[in-house]
Structure 1
Amino acid sequence: MILAERQARIEAEAAAALARDTASRLDAEALQLKAAASSTEAMIAHLKLQIERLRRELYGQRSERTARLIDQMELQLEELEAKATEDEIAAEAASRQAASPMLAQRRLPVRKPFPEHLPRERVLVAAPTSCPCCGSMKLAKLGEDVTETLEVVPRSWKVIQTVREKFTCRACEAITQPPAPFHVTPRGFMGPNLLATILFEKFGQHQPLNRQSERYAREGIDLAVSTLADQVGAATVALKPLHELIARHVMAAQRLHADDTTVPILAKGKTDAGRIWTYVRDDRPFGGADPPAAFYFASRDRRQEHPDAHLAAWSGILQADAYGGYNGLYDPARPGGPVTSALCWSHARRRFFELADIAASARRGPSTAPVSPIALEAVTRIDALFDIERAINGLGPEDRQRVRQEQSRPLVDDLHAWLQSKRPTLSCSSSVAKPIDYMLKRWSRFAGFLDDGRICLTNNAAERSLRGFALGRKAWLFAGSDRGADRAAIMATLITTAKLNDVDPQAWLADVLARIAATQQSQLSELLPWHWRRTTVEHRSAA
Structure 2
Amino acid sequence: MIRAERAARLAAEARAGDLEVARAALELARLEVTQAHAARYALELEIERLKLQIAKLRRQHFGTSSERSARLDQLMLALEDLEESAAHLDAEAEAKDAAAPDAPKWTVEELKRAKPARRPLPEHLPRRRMVLPGPTACACCGGGLRKLGEVVTETLERIPARWVVVETVREKFSCAACETITETPAPFHAIPRGRAGPHLLAEITVGKFGLHLPLTRQSAVFAQEGVDLDVSTLCDWMGAVAVATQPLSALIAEHVMKAERLHADDTPVPVLAKGKTKTGRLWTVVRDDRPFAGTDPPAAVYFYSPDRKGEHPQSFLKSYSGLLQADAYSGFGQLYEPGRVTGTATEAACWAHARRKFFELAELRKGPIAIEAVKRIDVLFAIEREINGRPPDERRSVRAAQSKPLADDLESWLRAQRGRLSPKSETAKAIDYMLRRWSSFALFLEDGRVCLSNNAAERAIRGIAVGRRNWTFAGSDVGGHRAAALYTLIETCKLNDVDPRAWLADVLARLPEHPAKRLDELLPWNWKAPSHQQAAA
TM bin (shorter chain): over 0.9
Contact 1:31 1:90 in 2 (8 A): no
1:208 is matched with which residue: 207, 211, 214? 214
Q: Find the residue that maps to 1:531 and give its secondary structure.
A: coil
Q: Find the residue that maps to 1:279 and give its secondary structure.
A: strand
Contact 2:190 2:508 in 1 (8 A): yes
Question: 1:51 deviation in Å?
Answer: 2.4
Counterparts in 2 of 1:384 and 1:229: CA distance versus 1, 3 Å: same
Contact 1:21 1:98 in 2 (8 A): no
- Using the alignment, how far apart are the partners of 2:135 and 2:515 within structure 1? 65
- Using the alignment, how far apart are the partners of 2:417 and 2:324 within structure 1? 30
Contact 1:32 1:88 in 2 (8 A): no
Counterparts in 2 of 1:453 and 1:98: CA distance versus 1, 3 Å: closer
Counterparts in 2 of 1:404 and 1:86: CA distance versus 1, 3 Å: closer
Counterpart position of 1:378: 373
- Using the alignment, how far apart are the partners of 2:26 and 2:493 within structure 1? 60
Instruction: Name the TM-score, length of structure 1 as normaliser.
Output: 0.92
- Using the alignment, how far apart are the partners of 1:539 and 1:153 within structure 2? 18
Question: 1:111 deviation in Å?
Answer: 1.4
Q: Find the residue that maps to 1:96 and give its secondary structure.
A: helix
- Aligned 1:390-539 pairs, distance under 5 A: 390-533=385-528
Counterpart position of 1:35: 36
- Using the alignment, how far apart are the partners of 1:251 and 1:59 within structure 2? 31
- Structure 2: gaps of 5 or more residues: none
Counterparts in 2 of 1:8 and 1:538: CA distance versus 1, 3 Å: closer
- Using the alignment, how far apart are the partners of 2:412 and 2:531 within structure 1? 53
Question: 1:442 deviation in Å?
Answer: 1.0
1:128 aligns with 2:135: yes
> Bigger shift: 261-270 or 119-128?
119-128
1:349 is matched with which residue: 347, 350, 355? 355
Q: Find the residue that maps to 1:119 and give its secondary structure.
A: coil
1:117 aligns with 2:142: no
- Using the alignment, how far apart are the partners of 1:529 and 1:347 within structure 2? 31
Counterparts in 2 of 1:485 and 1:41: CA distance versus 1, 3 Å: same
- Using the alignment, how far apart are the partners of 1:234 and 1:297 within structure 2? 19
Question: 1:335 deviation in Å?
Answer: 2.7
Which residue type is aligned with residue 33 of structure 2? Q
Contact 1:280 1:295 in 2 (8 A): yes
Counterpart position of 1:228: 234
Q: Give the % identical residues.
A: 52
Question: 1:56 deviation in Å?
Answer: 4.2
Question: 1:181 deviation in Å?
Answer: 1.5
Question: 1:536 deviation in Å?
Answer: 6.2
Q: Find the residue that maps to 1:432 and give its secondary structure.
A: helix
- Using the alignment, how far apart are the partners of 1:58 and 1:230 within structure 2? 45
- Using the alignment, how far apart are the partners of 1:350 and 1:205 within structure 2? 28
Contact 1:199 1:232 in 2 (8 A): yes
Contact 1:60 1:387 in 2 (8 A): no
- Using the alignment, how far apart are the partners of 1:403 and 1:198 within structure 2? 47
- Using the alignment, how far apart are the partners of 2:142 and 2:287 within structure 1? 75
Contact 1:263 1:479 in 2 (8 A): yes
- Using the alignment, how far apart are the partners of 1:54 and 1:60 within structure 2? 10
- Aligned 1:194-273 pairs, distance under 5 A: 194-273=200-279
Question: 1:537 deviation in Å?
Answer: 9.6
2:91 is matched with which residue: 89, 92, 97? 89
What's the CA shift string for 1:428-461, capped at 9, x where partnerless? 2323111111111111111112221221111001
1:98 aligns with 2:100: yes
1:159 is matched with which residue: 161, 165, 171? 165
Contact 2:222 2:228 in 1 (8 A): yes
What's the CA shift string for 1:243-287, capped at 9, x where partnerless? 111111111112211110000001111111110011111111111
Question: 1:372 deviation in Å?
Answer: 1.6
- Using the alignment, how far apart are the partners of 1:441 and 1:279 within structure 2? 25
- Using the alignment, how far apart are the partners of 1:210 and 1:306 within structure 2? 31
2:300 is matched with which residue: 290, 294, 297? 294
Contact 1:344 1:458 in 2 (8 A): yes
What's the CA shift string for 1:395-437, capped at 9, x where partnerless? 2222222222222222111111111111111122323111111
> Bigger shift: 4-13 or 212-221?
4-13
Which residue type is aligned with residue 38 of structure 2? A
Contact 1:28 1:91 in 2 (8 A): no
Counterparts in 2 of 1:13 and 1:485: CA distance versus 1, 3 Å: farther
> Bigger shift: 108-117 or 56-65?
56-65
1:73 aligns with 2:75: yes
Q: Find the residue that maps to 2:325 and give its secondary structure.
A: strand
> Bigger shift: 462-471 or 374-383?
374-383
**Superposed CA RMSD:** 2.3
> Bigger shift: 291-300 or 378-387?
378-387
What's the CA shift string for 1:221-248, capped at 9, x where partnerless? 0111111111111111111110111111
Counterparts in 2 of 1:537 and 1:139: CA distance versus 1, 3 Å: closer
Which residue type is aligned with residue 92 of structure 2? A
> Bigger shift: 344-353 or 40-49?
40-49
- Using the alignment, how far apart are the partners of 2:250 and 2:59 within structure 1? 42
Question: 1:211 deviation in Å?
Answer: 0.7
Which residue type is aligned with residue 267 of structure 1? A
Which residue type is aligned with residue 41 of structure 2? T
Counterpart position of 2:4: 3
Contact 2:61 2:68 in 1 (8 A): no
Which residue type is aligned with residue 203 of structure 2? T
Which residue type is aligned with residue 153 of structure 1? I
Counterparts in 2 of 1:336 and 1:538: CA distance versus 1, 3 Å: farther
- Using the alignment, how far apart are the partners of 2:104 and 2:470 within structure 1? 47
1:339 is matched with which residue: 327, 345, 351? 345
- Using the alignment, how far apart are the partners of 2:533 and 2:228 within structure 1? 37
What's the CA shift string for 1:16-57, capped at 9, x where partnerless? 532442243123212222222233223212321342244346
- Structure 1: gaps of 5 or more residues: 362-368
Which residue type is aligned with residue 367 of structure 2? S
- Using the alignment, how far apart are the partners of 1:420 and 1:304 within structure 2? 31
> Bigger shift: 479-488 or 111-120?
111-120
Question: 1:472 deviation in Å?
Answer: 1.0
Instruction: Name the TM-score, length of structure 2 as normaliser.
Output: 0.93
Counterpart position of 1:364: none
Aligned length: 529
Question: 1:112 deviation in Å?
Answer: 1.2
Q: Which has the higher contact order (CA 8 A, sep 6+)?
A: 2
Which residue type is aligned with residue 98 of structure 1? A
What's the CA shift string for 1:472-529, capped at 9, x where partnerless? 1110000000011111000000000010111000000000000011111101110000
What's the CA shift string for 1:367-394, capped at 9, x where partnerless? xx3x122112111211121122222222
Which residue type is aligned with residue 243 of structure 2? V
Counterpart position of 1:366: none
Question: 1:2 deviation in Å?
Answer: 5.6
Counterpart position of 1:365: none
Q: Find the residue that maps to 1:154 and give its secondary structure.
A: coil
- Aligned 1:310-321 pairs, distance under 5 A: 310-321=316-327
